Structure formats: structure tokens, C-alpha cells
Amino acid sequence: MNYRHFAVLFLLLTSSWAYANKPADPTRFEKAIQAFEAEDAAKAPPKDVTLFVGASNIRRWQSLPERFKKTPVLNRGFGGSQISDVVHFADRCIIKYKPKQIYLNAGGNDLHAGWAPEEVLASFEAFVAKVRAALPKTAISFISIPASPARWDEAEQVKQANALIASFCAKQGVEFIDVFSLLLGADGKPRPELYVEDKLHFSEAGYDVVTSAIRWQKDILAFGKKDAEKAPPEHPIVFTGSSSIVKWKSLAEDFPELPVVNRGFGGSELFDSFNYAHLTVIKYQPRLVVMYAGSNDINAGKTPQRVLEDFKAFVAKVHAALPECRISYISNAPNPKRWSMVGQMKEASRLIEEFTKTDKRLQFINVYPHMLGPDGMPKPDIFVADQLHMNANGYAIWKEVVGPYLK
């Protein structure tokens, strides 16, 4: 027996010894595992897959493939499971696929069954040991045990278990994805709209939050590291949104007399700016926020009305914390890559422009006409090779159009 196998055996034995109660019989999920095996027999799963495993919030995630179109995903959640069940069936529902990435969301059922936070940690340690013994190169991410209205009386235990697991993850090179705090409203309790009628499982709005956290937590944490290395200016002008903000590398040079801070994260949608507004905007207590987002939303299939609603939510979140803060929205920009969607993008901009007229703290910055040539098409000399993002010529246009709104 090599060291890795011994470590797995040791953790499983010592974890079971520590339990105050006997773990539930994992064979109650035998039919669910056999169903996965029948599915594999009917259609071979993809290689280099990103695998999601855990309890019912994973099992019920029907929109998972649609949300992660750029990578093959496999859902191997089985509802009601505890982490020890996932460990028991790991060979049959995880390891055999040799995934490049594993996302685990479990632990809530463990606590609900009476396990202590320390016992949940022990189960997770056993899970990591077993996976790493078989798949040393596979990345592991733990999606935190979520808050829910149905089990809010267990919130303190959930917080304790999450804290223990987060500390373990930091030491072991495992990613800990915090969704617990993102699911809470201004009153510190779970937001009802994020759950279905049972008040336990996620609605699609809840999965929006989880998806955003999976995609962008690393970028958001990187902003925190930047702030630690160099303190941002007081009450700055914060630019936030998607890649056209990220790629505005000359931002500080373009406005040298103004305290600008770039907090864009490329590929993000407007909902992501809302979801992380407390860490990308509010924490800086800006006097002005400049946003460019919405194009990726339309490209992902969201409607102009959805873009408007997400912008309204962003505004409400910022103004709840910073009532005097001004918010300027840069219109969707025309580009050759997405010209077939220009009608929807113009409609999203129109809706947001109308909304900005309802509040003197809001402004609409229309860059659209300035980026078109005499033929009514996007100017060919203002984009890089991908025909989506701007070059220096494009940002020179933005500098001239956006500049007057910053003063």
C-alpha cells in the first residue's frame, strides 16, 4: 500500500471513529449510481470533462450545460447525499471519468442529519485524499454549503463548517468558492427569490449566483490582492463591467487628473457586476461609477429586458449603500463580430437610457454613433483582430465621449 492509499484509509477510519452517530448507509443511492452507469453505456461521456458532484442542488441543476457552453460538463449529483456518500461512490461517479476539474457541493445534508461541523470537515478531508490518490492532477473546488430559508436555524453550523473547510482548502491548494454570503440580502438573511417553493433548493436566479461565483471569484479575489499591494485612492471613479473596461489599459493616462480605478472583469455579464458590486464598487465608496456591460449578456441569449432588470438591480444595490453615488452607463458598442445582434443591443441600450432619465444620479453615455463610419457600419480601424475589442483608436473615441461625464 503506497502513502496516498494509506492516507485515504487513515482519514476514512479516523473520520468514522469521530462520528457521534453512525453514518447513513450509502447503498441507498445504489440505484442512482446505476442510472449514471446506464447513461454512460448509452452514450460515452466526454473526455477532459468538468464534473459537478454532490447533493440535490447539483442534481437539480438542469441548466448546467447551457451555463458552461465552452467546456464539457458532467452532472453526477445525487439528491439527499452527504459527503461520505460521495466518498463511498467516488470510484464510480467521479474517478472513472478522469475529470480535469471537480466541483463539489455537499455538507448541508450532513449538518441537517446531526453531524458536527468538525465531522463535515473530516468527511471532506477524506474526499480530497481519495480523489488526489487517484487523480493527483485534477483540480478540486468546493462550493460552500449554501444558506437557505428552510434551514436558516442551522446557519451558524453552516458558517462554522464553511470556515473549517475554507481553512483546509487554503492549506491544501483546493479552491473554496463562497456562495453563502452572496445568497444573503441586505437584512442578512437568504433572498427568497433565489429558491424554489420548498425554500431549500435553488431557483434559476439562485443558480445565477452560483454560476457567477464559479466564474469570477478568482478575479474578484485578485482585486483584493491589488488593493493590499497598493491602496486605491479615496472616493475614486470606479470603472466596472466586461472586457472593454478590462482592456482600457490607458485609462489612468487618459484621465491623469482624475482618481480612476479599473475593476472590469473580462467576459462578465451585467449580473456579475451586480453580484460582486460590494467588492468591485461599494467597498471603494466611489463618487462615480462608470459601467460598460450588456453585450456579453445578449451574446449569451439574454433578452434586452433582462439586461435592463440586471442594471436596475445593480443601481439599487449601489444606491442602498451609497445614496449619493452617480452611475454612468456606457451604451452597448457596435462591433463587426456581433453585428448580427445589433438590434437587440440597441434595444437594451434604449431601455437603459429611458431608465436613467428617472433618476438624476444616473447618466447614459452614448458611444454608439461615434463608432460608426459614413456607411453606418462600425469603423474598420478601431478594432483589434478579433473584430470585437477596440484598439487605441477605439479608446481614443471613448476618451473623448466619456471624458465630459467624469467631471
Report pLDDT for 23.
Answer: 64
Superfamily of domain 3-216: SGNH hydrolase (3.40.50.1110)
Eight-state DSSP code of residue 75: E
Query: 74 in the Ramachandran plot: left (φ > 0), alpha (ψ -120 to 50) or beta?
Result: beta
Report pLDDT for 3.
Answer: 42
Quickly state the pLDDT bin for 25 (edges 50, 70, 90): confident
In order, the DSSP letters of 282-313 are: GGG--SEEEEE--HHHHHTT--HHHHHHHHHH
Fold type of domain 232-406: Rossmann fold (3.40.50)
Q: pLDDT tens digits, residue range 143-195?
A: 999 999 999 999 999 999 999 999 999 999 999 999 999 999 989 999 999 99
Q: pLDDT tens digits, residue range 34-88?
A: 999 999 999 999 999 999 999 999 999 999 999 999 899 999 999 899 999 999 9
Percent of the chain exceeding pLDDT 90 equals 92
State the distance between the two ends of the chain, measured CA to CA, in whole angstroms: 69
Buried b (16+ CB within 10 A) or exposed e, 36-70: beeeeeeeeeeeebbbbbbbbbbbbbeebeebeee
Report pLDDT for 21.
Answer: 55
Quickly state the pLDDT bin for 407 (edges 50, 70, 90): confident
Report pLDDT for 22.
Answer: 57
Over residues 199-210, mean pLDDT? 98
Cα–Cα distance between 59 and 378 in angstroms, integer?
45
Query: CB under 8 Å to 125, separation ≥6 — which residues?
Result: 11, 15, 168
- For 362, the enclosing helix (H) or strand (E) is strand 362-365
Distances from the Cα of 364 to the Cαs of 103, 268, 275, 330, in angstroms?
40, 20, 22, 6
Is the predicted pLDDT of residue 125 greater than 50, yes or no?
Answer: yes
Question: Where exactly are the structural domains of the chain?
Answer: 3-216, 232-406
- Asked if residue 227 lies in contact with residue 279, where contact means CB atoms within 8 angstroms, the answer is no
Is the predicted pLDDT of residue 354 greater than 90, yes or no?
Answer: yes
Buried b (16+ CB within 10 A) or exposed e, 121-136: bbbbbbbbbbbbbbbe
Report pLDDT for 280.
Answer: 97
Looking at every residue in the chain, the average pLDDT score rounds to 94
Q: CB 163: neighbour CB atoms within 10 A?
A: 14
Report pLDDT for 399.
Answer: 98
Three-class DSSP category at 231: coil
Task: Confirm whether 3-216 and 232-406 share one CATH topology.
Answer: yes
Buried b (16+ CB within 10 A) or exposed e, 280-315: bbbbbebebbbbbbbbbbbeeebebebbbbbbebbb
By CB atoms closer than 10 A (0-12, 13-18, 19+), residue 269 is buried
Cα–Cα distance between 181 and 222 in angstroms, integer?
18
Report pLDDT for 24.
Answer: 73
Report pLDDT for 4.
Answer: 43
Is the predicted pLDDT of residue 16 greater than 90, yes or no?
Answer: no
pTM > 0.85: yes
Quick one: three-class SS letters along 317-337?
HHHHHCCCCEEEEECCCCCCC
Report pLDDT for 164.
Answer: 98
Three-class DSSP category at 131: helix
Is the predicted pLDDT of residue 18 greater than 90, yes or no?
Answer: no
Q: How far is CA 215 from the centre of its chain?
A: 4
Q: pLDDT tens digits, residue range 266-300?
A: 899 999 999 999 999 999 999 999 999 999 999 99
H helix count then E strand count, the chain: 18, 10
Q: pLDDT tens digits, residue range 363-383?
A: 999 999 999 999 999 999 999
Percent of the chain exceeding pLDDT 70 equals 94
